Structure formats: C-alpha cells, structure tokens
Amino acid sequence: MNDAPLAVVLAENWNYLVVITLMMSGLFIVISRSNLVKKLVGLSIFQTSVFLFYISVGKVAGGTAPIITGDPDTLYSNPLPHVLILTAIVVGVATTALGLALVLRVYAAFGSIEEDEVLAMKAEDGFPLLRRAAGREDGE
Amino acid sequence: MTQVITPLMSSETGILIGLLAPLLVGLVTPLLAVRSLWRDAAGPLGAVVTFVAALHVAGAVLAGETPRLVLLEFADGLRFEFAVTPLGAVFGLVASGLWIAAGLFSVGYMRGNHEKHQTRFAAFYAVAVHAALAIAWSGNLLVLFVFYEILTFSTFPLVTHKESKAARDAGRLYMSILVGTSVVLLLPAVIYVWVKTGTLDFVPGGILAGYVAPEVVPWLLACFAFGTGKAALMPFHRWLPAAMVAPTPVSALLHAVAVVKAGVFTMLTVIVYVFGIDFLAESSGSDWLVWLASFTILASSFVAISKDDLKARLAYSTISQLSYIVLGAAIATSIAAQGAALHIVMHAAGKITLFFCAGAIYVRAHLTKISELDGQGREMPLVFIAFFLGALSIIGIPPLGGSWSKFYLMLGAMERDLVLVLAVLGLSSLLNIYYLLEPVQRAFFRPKTRQVEVTSQPLTVIPPVATAILSVLLFFFVDQIDALAKLVAG
Amino acid sequence: MSIYTLFNNLPALLVVVPLLLSPIATLIPSGRLAWVIALLGTGVSVIAAMLLCSVTASGIRITYFLGNWPPPWGIEFVVDGATSLTAMVMATLAFLATLFAGRALAAEIAAKDVGKAYAAWLLACGGLYGLVMTADAFNLFVFLEISALASVILIALGAGQDRRALIAAYNYLVIGAVGATFYVIGVGFIYAVTGSLNMADLAQRIPDVEAGSIIYVGFGFMVAGMLVKAAVFPVHIWLPAAYSYAPAAVSTLLAAIATKAAIYVLARIIFTVFGGVPEVTALALEWVVVPLSIAGIFLGTIMAIYERDLKKMLAFSSIAQIGYITLGMGIATGAGIAAGFIHIGNHALIKGGLFMAVGGIFLATGARVSVDSMAGIGRKMPVTAAAFLICGLSLIGLPLTAGFISKLYLVRALLDNDNLLIVGLVLASSALSVVYLWKIVEVMWVRSARVDAMEISERPALYIPLWLVAISNIWLGLDAGWLVGAAEAAAASLLGAGG
C-alpha cells in the first residue's frame, strides 16, 4: 500500500482520519479548557473516537452483519469489537455521569465551575462535620 | 581471668547476656522511674553484668575460640549472627567496662544538674550501649551495619536532650551526616562486597582477595572510610563537635568511646577482616587514606588549639585521635593494626577521663571555658589531677597506657618506611601537649581570676579518678589486652 | 456446593465477593453494619488470597474460565506467583484499612452516607483485585474503570472536611479516564493485528505479527495508559491532591493498594504480553521507565521536603516510592523485578501505616495535620506517634524494618547489573528522604506542644490496625525470607510466562 499516492491512502483509510481528528480534538479540549463541563464534553468526544475506532476495525470488507444467514459462504463482520464497545459505552456513560455529578457538587461548594477560579480559592472547608473550636488551624 | 569465669557460663550465653543486659536496662528504666534510686541503680548494675559477660567472651577469644550466636536467618543465607573477633572482644571490653564508670558519673551529673527527662535519658543511654556492644560482636557486615544505624538513631534523643534550638540544629547535623554517609556510601559498599563475594562474614585475612580488581580497591575503601561517618574522618567530622551540646555523660561515653569507637572499629574490622591487610598492602589501595588520616590528625589538632570551650577542644582532640586508629589500619601492617586496636582502649580510657573532668567542672562550678579555669585547681584538685593523667595518657607519655599504642603505631610506620607519618605523629604529640595540658597549667599555676561556688558532687569525682587510675594501670598490666590486639593482626 | 467447588472457584471468589457485597452495603442504613459487611468482604478476600498463595507457592499456575467459557472466547483469570503475591498484599492491606475505617470513616462523613461509602469501598477493592486477576486485556479495562470510578467517589467524600476534595476527585476522574482510554486504544491496535484479547494468547501471537510498527504503537498506548494509573512521574499529577483531600481511611486504602495494582498490570503487559518482543519492551524500559522512575524518585522526595502538609508530603513520598518499584521492574532482570515486588509489599505496609497514623492524629485533633501542628504529638499521642515512627523508619529504610529489605534487594539488583550511577542516585535520594521524615520526628518529640493545645485522647479502634501494620513492618524486616522468596517466584513466573 506504500506504493499508492498519499491521497489515495488517506481516502482508503478515511475512517481512521475521522477517528484521529475526533481523538485529538477531544484530548485538546480536556487539556485546554478550564470549564469543568467542557472538559467532560472533551472527554466524551475522546472516548467516542475510540469507540468508532474499534467499530470500524471490526468491519470486514464486504462482510455483512454478524447474524447467521444459513449460507456457509457468507462473509461476516467481526462482532467482538462491537460487543466490547457496548461495554465501553456503558463505562463511558458512567464516567460522564459521575463527572457531571461532581461538577454539580463543585458548583455548590465553590460557586464556580471554572477550574482556575476554583483552584485559586482558599482551603475554607465545605461542610465541616468534625471541627473543634479550639486549637484548629488551616492546612495551608 | 578466663579460668575464673568459664565454669559459670558458655561463651554463647556470655554474648547473649552481654547484649541483653543493656537492652533490658533500656526497656526497664521507664518502669523503674517511680523511684529515682531504682532507675539510677539499673544503669551501673547492668553495666557490671555486661562487663562480666564481656570479660568472659574476651577470655574465650583469648583461648582461641570464636564465640558465636546465631539468632535467625534474614534471607538468602544472610544470617543474623554474632561472632566475636579479637578486635570485637577488645571493643566490647572497652564499651562495657567504661559504661560502669559512665553510668555512675551520669547519675551524679544528671542529678547535680537537675536535668529534665532523666528517665528518657537513661533508657536511650542503655540502648546506645547495647547497640555499641552489638556492633563489637557482630558476626558479619550486615549485622554491623544494622547496629551502626541503630546506634545513630538511639543517640539522637541524647544529642537533642536539651530540646533547645541549638540542640535541634545539632541533632539535624548529627543525623544528616551520620545517616547520609552511611546510606549513600557504606550501604552500597556493603552490598557491593556481598554481590562480588557472596558472603559478608568476617574472615581473618579478608574475603575480597581474588574477587575485586586491585584498581577498584581504593574506591571501595573510600566508600567504607567516608561511609563510616562515625570515624569522623575529615571532611565528615562536623557532627562530632556539634554533638557536644549533649549532656557530658553522653559526650564522655558515647562521643569519646561508644559511637566514635564504633566508627573506627568498623574501619579496622573492614580493613582487617574484609579487605585483609595483605591484600590491601599488595594493592596499595590504602595509601591515600594514610595521608588523609595524617591530615586529619594535624588539622584537627590546630582547630583544637583555637577552641576555648573545653568540650569543643576535647571533641577536636577526639577527631585527631580517631585518625590515629584509622592511620594504623591504613598503614596495613600487623604491628600498626595491633597499635590501632590498642589505641581504641587507651584513647577511650584517657578521653573518657577528660570528659568526666569537664563534666565535673561544669556540674560543680558551672565553668565551660578554658580561660575561666585559672586557679581553680585548688578548688577541685582531684578533678584536675585526673585530667592531667588522662591528658598524659593521650599524649602518650609513659608510664601511662597511651604510650603503648603510639609506640606500636610508630613501629608500624617505620616498617613501611613512612618517615613523614612518623613526623606527623611526633608533631601531633607536641600539639597535644600544648592544648591538653593548658587547662591543667591554668588551673594550678595561674592566679585565680574568678570566685565560683563549688558544690560537692562525689559521684562526678569518683569516676574520673577511677578511669585516670585505669589509664596508669593499663601501662603496667597491658599483656592480656596486648595479647588480644596481637590476635587481631593474626 | 462442596468444599471442592468452593476451592475451585477461589480466583472468582476473591473478586466477586466484594463486588456482590457492595450493593448490599448500599441498602443498609446502619453505618456500623455496613462496616461489618465491608470487613466480611475484604476478610473473605484475604482468605481467598492466602489460599491462592499457598497453591501457587508450589509452582502451580491456576487458570480459571469465567462462566466456563474457555479462552480465547471467554474471559480467563490466571493466578501465578506474581498474581497471588500482589493479590495477597492488596487483600491484607485492604482488610487492615477496612479495620481502620470502622472508626475513621464514620467520623468524617455524614452518617447517612456511610453505607454508600462502604459500597464504593467494596467496589474499589473488588475492581482492583479483578485488575490483578484477569488475563483478558479488555476485561482489564472494565475492572480498571470500576475501581477508578469507585475511588473517585471515595475521594470526593473528603468534601465533608475540605471542599478541595471535589476538585481532586474530578481531576482523578478525568485524568484516569484519559489514561484508561489510552490503554483501550492500545488494546484496539493489538487486537486489530492479532485478533485476540487473551494475554497468554497475545504473548504467543505478537512475535509473529508482521506489521511491527503497530505493535510499537499499541504497546506505547497501553503502557502510557497504565503509567498514568500507576502515578509514575510525570503523569502523577492526580495523586497528591487525591490522596491528601480524601478521608483518612480512603487515603490509607488508596495509598496502600491502588497504584500497586496498576504497577502489577504494567509489569504484566511488559513482561508477559510483550515478553516475546524484547526489542519493543527494552526500548520502553531503558528510555522511558527507568529515567522516569529516577526523576520521580528525586522530584517526589524534593517536593516532600518542601511540603508542610503531612498528607501531601506522604503523597509526594509515594511518588518517589513508586519510582523505586518501577525502577526495580525497569532494569528487567529477575533480581530487579523481585526487588520491585518486594517493595510493592513493603511500601503498601509503610504508606498504609503512615496514612493511618496521620489519619489518627487528624481525627484526634480535628485539624488538617501539618508539620507545625504535629508539635508535641509525640507526648500527647505516644501510641500513635510511636507507630508513625516505626513506619517512618521503615520508609527511610532503617535496618530491621521492611524498608531496609527493599533497599537492600533493589541496590543489590542494580549492582548486579553494574548500574553504579543509578545506585548512587537511588541512595542519595533515600538519604534525602531522611530529611522530610526526620523533620516530623523532630517536631513530634523535640519541639514542645503549643500551650493552648487541647487535651487529646487516642482511640484503640484507630491505633490497633495501625500497630498491626507497624509490627508487620518490623516483622518483615527481621524475617524477610517469605516475602523475598515469593517475590523471586513472582519475577520468575512473570519472565517465564513471557519467554
């Protein structure tokens, strides 16, 4: 395949191009954004790109959906990556849900969801359960 | 002495008792704290028991045995064992014997000074002695290293005893030099020996010959020499003067005897039983150490002269004297090694006397500076006479014990044609005379410049007098110890 | 079900029991009862891990097909010397941490949440055990995320004391998810060229793959993902905040077992899965793992020296200690890997104990523990402080403690390879670790307590587990034979399975 011109190689592997584009944009959002919700959006995009990667890898050229047709010559696509990704989607959803729940709590405790603002705030405890009046001092 | 004690116990029990007695004292002291008399009696009593055990073990060594006690196996054939070499027997005798005097002295000192936390002090003091004995009798390099570290850690509470800022700073310096050098240099050297030879046992004649290339020897020796920070070889000597913030009993037993002698003992042991004198002489891997030790001897003598604080002067004198022992090991002849082993004993007896005197002067008259001592000789004649005898022994003037070891060291240097070393030893003796006899001269021959109230504290006077007499006796009754020292060199 | 079937299903039991008990714990309103259930779950795991250890000690390699589906179709659990040792260390420490949590967790979080906290606790434990047991590359990802999400919840519980716990949890979630996704990408590449997910199967197929560059890429992604999870420098950034703002009991649990599982997986990937292509792994070990480990050792130690907050200091020290483990693994000789495994066990004991002690001090004083607030603690809380000292000396590597054995074997492995420079660096950093630890010791005993400091009492429920850990630190320092033997067997089985 190395003999083919670059454009043709890229066109033949367009699915990977999509995956890479999504992956890089997702990762970039996670790293560069300060807004906690946007970070989660980036994380979702990043994970979704991986799902796409698995699914497109599982596709066998000319193969049909992996449902038994009865014809022994049928070419099937590989079902395993799809099943794996079902699991991964569940994990991804759980991650996003937990992340959003945390963002809610962050907002309740700090009044902001901008990471740099939140990090700049002092130690001041959220809801101290165990505080003694005398002799306490802040960690920093 | 062998014949008397042998029926009482086997040499194995001797080791066990000698090690357990101080440890037990350390553990029991907090329980005895309800009565200060019980607590204070525990130390000297334990010391006597330990000394008897050490005598017995030394007797067995003289009879040609190697008393041995295997406790458990670490892993991979590394045994946690004690096996007493002649050198170990000597060091064990010194540490336990002088503990009797130091134990008494520390009671007098701590009481007379109304120090706080006397229980903690007594407990860690005994644990430190335990560690020193365990070093003396260790059966291989690993056990030696283990107790070397324990000795460092157990003396930390003693050094910082006053809990003042100065004590804390000194404690930091103490820990960082001793732990730092041992971890960074000594430990890898030990493991290197283990990897190369597959054993860490002490074998007469050494274990390294044939396993280590001669060009590696100086480097390995450097790791040992500098890794043993307790030997106070320059430039890693700063911890010793710093440790003088500790109460004087600590400076006396630990920083003139147990800790520093543990350092030079490690050096001697490593050179005699790990490198082997012959191997070292062949590869001339220790030539550099001869010159470094000589340098340390002279340099610290000059620093000592400049110190007005009595304990600081004694500390620098100790650094200088320790290098005599390192020098003896580095010369790498059997006579020099014998001299080094003897010097462990002689210097210990002499220097502990000097520290006892410094402590007695402090407790009784609250004087710490040499310039304040003018004319105080008449107030405290016994103390200053003891000081005089101790100083003479360290200078090496007959009829005091110290003359023997210097004599052998010089013989050793002659044997290797090290004329310059002879000159160093001579010059150092002159300097010794100057800076050690100055306090005595001031006390007796200068008019009194200040009036101080001198209290009577018999427990601080008896020990220095006793050890001063010991220094004299060591000149006349040296044969048994000399026989042990001869065994060291094989 | 006879004893025999019970015994046969041990590998699954170890993982499944905590996972199954977790939903039960959610339903229980009483925090005390939930704690008992958590004790039960972790206790069963300890027994299962011990039995597994006794089986693998005789050199047997246990394979277990989940749901009786044989590989390469089904998911397989494999237990060899390395697995059982790691599982054993983790299960024991998790049990001790649970013991400690009984009092500690209840004091730090609202009563109604305690049951749910234990649910997350059990999930985290079960997930981490699964991570170690599984021999299926994708299943590993699932366990990775189970444990990660549960840990995030546990860390976020610290918000009851300090709201910064929320941010710490969030960052752990995001960074951990990115790491896990990296791992999945790597698995995808490897699956694409081999068509298998079973580790043993992969190990056989990878050397035959033609497209070598894909192996490199897949390996790189997998290793990068696990490095994040193992908190190897410089992808450790989630760790200090997560450990220091989590509740005391959670810090103990995570510090003792969480990164250990990831390091184990890392070793599995490098030495078993990719054992057949040493040219690929050597590249990563020599140019990535070893340099990063050394950098981590130094920077972790230096950060710890300058840190005043105790929990953060311990967290930074963890980064350095993780560096020791990965360094041992990184030199890739049998002795080196064994040294790594020895330190996995010993560091779990050391850090578990230290976090417990700091937790105990925190609960007694009610304030975040910093170097300054420790003044005089040695006299006020002698029992806790003494245990802290023992674990601390073990961290420094004082002889007769577990930490010394670690250092001894690590240095020996390095000297075996004539890595004199690395030996020097390792020992220099370990001497530096004395600085931060001794600072605390000095403050605890030498400096006197503040005059206005309140009366402080110590609770047996907190210091008994702590002392169990402290005593183990000494015991393993005296009698290291078992651990050393097991670690050497673990190294042999890791290398053997790949060769």
**What would the mean pLDDT of B377-399 be, rounded to a whole number?**
86
The domain of A89 spans 6-61+75-112
What average pLDDT does the structure give for chain B?
A: 85
Residue C473's contacts (CB-CB under 8 Å, 6 or more residues apart) are: C346, C349, C350, C353, C390, C391, C394, C401, C402, C403
Higher per-residue pLDDT: A67 or C350? C350
**Dist CA C254 CA C348 (whole Å):** 10
**What would the mean pLDDT of C438-442 be, rounded to a whole number?**
86
Answer whether B253's CB lies under 8 Å from B102's CB. Answer: yes
Task: Report if residue A80 sits inside a domain.
Answer: yes
Residue C263's contacts (CB-CB under 8 Å, 6 or more residues apart) are: C230, C322, C325, C326, C329, C340, C344
Answer whether B376's CB lies under 8 Å from B444's CB. Answer: no
pLDDT value, residue A58: 81
Question: Considering chain C, what percentage of its residues have pLDDT values greater than 70?
Answer: 97
**Dist CA B70 CA C154 (whole Å):** 48
Backbone Cα Rg of chain B: 21
User: Is the confidence at residue C338, as pLDDT, over 80?
Assistant: yes
Q: CA of B266 to nearest chain C CA: how many angstroms apart?
A: 17
Does residue C167 sit at the A interface (CB-CB below 8 Å)? yes
Does residue A135 sit at the C interface (CB-CB below 8 Å)? yes
pLDDT value, residue C150: 94
- What token pair was written down for B246? 């500790």
User: Is the confidence at residue C451, as pLDDT, over 60?
Assistant: no
Does residue C447 sit at the B interface (CB-CB below 8 Å)? yes
- What token pair was written down for C79? 């237990």
Higher per-residue pLDDT: C457 or B354? B354
pLDDT value, residue B5: 47
User: Is the confidence at residue C449, as pLDDT, over 80?
Assistant: no
Answer whether B256's CB lies under 8 Å from B232's CB. Answer: no
Nearest CA to B248 among B316, B175, B311, B185?
A: B311
Q: Most distant CA pair in chain C: distance in Å?
A: 73
Nearest CA to C124 among C242, C271, C220?
A: C242
What residue type is assigned to position C387 of the chain? A
Reported as a single tens digit per residue, the pLDDT across C85-106 is 999 999 999 999 999 998 888 8
- A125/C161 touch (CB, cutoff 8 Å), yes or no: yes
- Count of C-beta atoms within a 10 Å radius of residue B444: 17
**C171-208 burial: b if 16+ Cβ within 10 Å, else e:** bbbbbbbbbbbbbbbbbbbbbbbbebbbbbbbbebbee
Q: CA of A69 to nearest chain C CA: how many angstroms apart?
A: 22
pLDDT value, residue A123: 56
Reported as a single tens digit per residue, the pLDDT across B64-75 is 778 888 887 766
How many independent structural domains does chain A possess? Answer: 1
Task: Report if residue A130 sits inside a domain.
Answer: no
Backbone Cα Rg of chain A: 24
- B145/C431 touch (CB, cutoff 8 Å), yes or no: no
Measured in degrees and rounded to the nearest 5, phi and psi for residue B293 equal -65, -40
User: Is the confidence at residue A129, as pLDDT, over 90?
Assistant: no
**Dist CA B400 CA B201 (whole Å):** 36
Reported as a single tens digit per residue, the pLDDT across A80-126 is 888 889 999 999 999 999 999 999 999 888 888 888 888 887 655 44
User: Is the confidence at residue B235, as pLDDT, over 60?
Assistant: yes
Nearest CA to C48 among C93, C25, C15?
A: C15
Q: CA of C166 to nearest chain A CA: how many angstroms apart?
A: 6
Backbone Cα Rg of chain C: 21
User: Is the confidence at residue B170, as pLDDT, over 80?
Assistant: yes
**What would the mean pLDDT of C191-209 be, rounded to a whole number?**
87
| Neighbors of chain A by Cβ distance (3+ pairs < 8 Å) | C
pLDDT value, residue B2: 44
Does residue C435 sit at the B interface (CB-CB below 8 Å)? yes
**Dist CA B169 CA C205 (whole Å):** 62
Is residue A140 very low, low, confident or very high in pLDDT (cuts 50, 70, 90)? very low
- C178/A43 touch (CB, cutoff 8 Å), yes or no: yes
Give the torsion sign (CA, B118, B121, B127, B132).
negative
Q: Which residues pair with C65 in a beta bridge?
A: C76
Give the torsion sign (CA, A31, A34, A39, A41).
negative
Q: CA of C292 to nearest chain B CA: how many angstroms apart?
A: 21
User: Is the confidence at residue C169, as pLDDT, over 90?
Assistant: yes
Is residue C32 very low, low, confident or very high in pLDDT (cuts 50, 70, 90)? confident
Reported as a single tens digit per residue, the pLDDT across A20-59 is 999 999 999 999 988 999 999 999 999 999 999 998 888 7
Q: Is B179 exposed, middle or buried (0-12, 13-18, 19+ CB in 10 A)?
A: buried
Q: Which chain A residues contact residue C373 at CB under 8 A?
A: 137
Q: Name the CA dihedral angle for C372, C373, C374, C378, rounded to a multiple of 10 degrees.
A: 120
**B94-124 burial: b if 16+ Cβ within 10 Å, else e:** bbbbbbbbbbbbbbbbbbbbeeeebbbbbbb
pLDDT value, residue A124: 53
Residue B165's contacts (CB-CB under 8 Å, 6 or more residues apart) are: none
User: Is the confidence at residue C221, as pLDDT, over 80?
Assistant: yes
The domain of B340 spans 2-489
**Dist CA C128 CA C253 (whole Å):** 11
Q: CA of C172 to nearest chain B CA: how many angstroms apart?
A: 36
Helix (H, G, I), strand (E, B) or coil at C63: strand
Does residue C459 sit at the B interface (CB-CB below 8 Å)? no
Answer whether B207's CB lies under 8 Å from B201's CB. Answer: yes
**Dist CA B266 CA B272 (whole Å):** 10
Give all strands (DSSP E) within B76-167, no chain letters. Answer: 78-83
**What would the mean pLDDT of C127-154 be, rounded to a whole number?**
92
DSSP code, position B73: E
- Count of C-beta atoms within a 10 Å radius of residue B279: 22
Does residue C160 sit at the A interface (CB-CB below 8 Å)? yes
pLDDT value, residue C467: 92
How many independent structural domains does chain C possess? Answer: 1
**What would the mean pLDDT of B449-477 be, rounded to a whole number?**
83
What's the CA angle centered on C349, arms C348 and C353, to 5 degrees?
115
- What token pair was written down for B309? 């604080």
Whether a cis peptide bond, with omega within 30° of 0, leads into B399 is yes
Half-sphere exposure (CA, 13 Å, Cβ side) for B39? 23
- C166/A105 touch (CB, cutoff 8 Å), yes or no: yes
Helix (H, G, I), strand (E, B) or coil at B80: strand
Question: Considering chain B, what percentage of its residues have pLDDT values greater than 70?
Answer: 97
User: Is the confidence at residue B4, as pLDDT, over 70?
Assistant: no
Whether a cis peptide bond, with omega within 30° of 0, leads into C72 is yes
What average pLDDT does the structure give for chain C?
A: 88
Higher per-residue pLDDT: A73 or C490? C490
Answer whether B362's CB lies under 8 Å from B248's CB. Answer: yes
**What would the mean pLDDT of B257-278 be, rounded to a whole number?**
88
Helix (H, G, I), strand (E, B) or coil at C291: helix
Does residue B139 sit at the C interface (CB-CB below 8 Å)? no
Is residue C388 very low, low, confident or very high in pLDDT (cuts 50, 70, 90)? very high
- C434/B167 touch (CB, cutoff 8 Å), yes or no: no
Lowest mean pLDDT across A36-45, C201-210, C256-265: C201-210
The domain of C55 spans 3-498
- Quickly tell me which residue has 């000698």 as its tokens: B18
* Residue B241 to residues B236, B315, B377, B431, Cα–Cα distance (Å): 11, 5, 26, 19
B64 torsion bin: left (phi>0), alpha (psi -120 to 50), beta (else): left
DSSP string of C147-196, one letter each residue? HHHHHHHHHHGGGGT-THHHHHHHHHHHHHHHHHHHHHHHHHHHHHHH--
Does residue A67 sit at the C interface (CB-CB below 8 Å)? no
What residue type is assigned to position C94 of the chain? A
**What would the mean pLDDT of B244-265 be, rounded to a whole number?**
85
- B168/C442 touch (CB, cutoff 8 Å), yes or no: yes
Is residue A2 very low, low, confident or very high in pLDDT (cuts 50, 70, 90)? low
Answer whether B262's CB lies under 8 Å from B148's CB. Answer: yes
User: Is the confidence at residue A133, as pLDDT, over 70?
Assistant: no
Task: Provide the H-helix boundaries in B228-309.
Answer: 239-242, 248-249, 259-269, 277-283, 287-306
What number of H helices and E strands is found in chain B? Answer: 21, 2
Does residue B80 sit at the C interface (CB-CB below 8 Å)? yes
Nearest CA to B256 among B230, B238, B295?
A: B230
Task: Report if residue A105 sits inside a domain.
Answer: yes
Q: Which chain C residues contact residue A129 at CB under 8 A?
A: 107-110, 160-161
Answer whether C154's CB lies under 8 Å from C125's CB. Answer: no
- What token pair was written down for A45? 């995009």
ipTM of predicted complex: 0.88
Q: CA of A8 to nearest chain C CA: how many angstroms apart?
A: 20
User: Is the confidence at residue C496, as pLDDT, over 80?
Assistant: no
What CATH number is associated with residue A92? 1.10.287.3510
DSSP code, position B7: G
Size of interface A-C (CB pairs under 8 A): 131
Does residue A84 sit at the C interface (CB-CB below 8 Å)? yes
pTM attached to this predicted model = 0.85
- What token pair was written down for B296? 């340390």
**What would the mean pLDDT of B203-228 be, rounded to a whole number?**
86
Residue C141's contacts (CB-CB under 8 Å, 6 or more residues apart) are: A88, A91, C180, C183, C184, C187
Lowest mean pLDDT across A13-22, B279-288, C325-334: B279-288
Of C163, C170, C452, the CB nearest to A135: C452
How many independent structural domains does chain B possess? Answer: 1
B232 torsion bin: left (phi>0), alpha (psi -120 to 50), beta (else): left
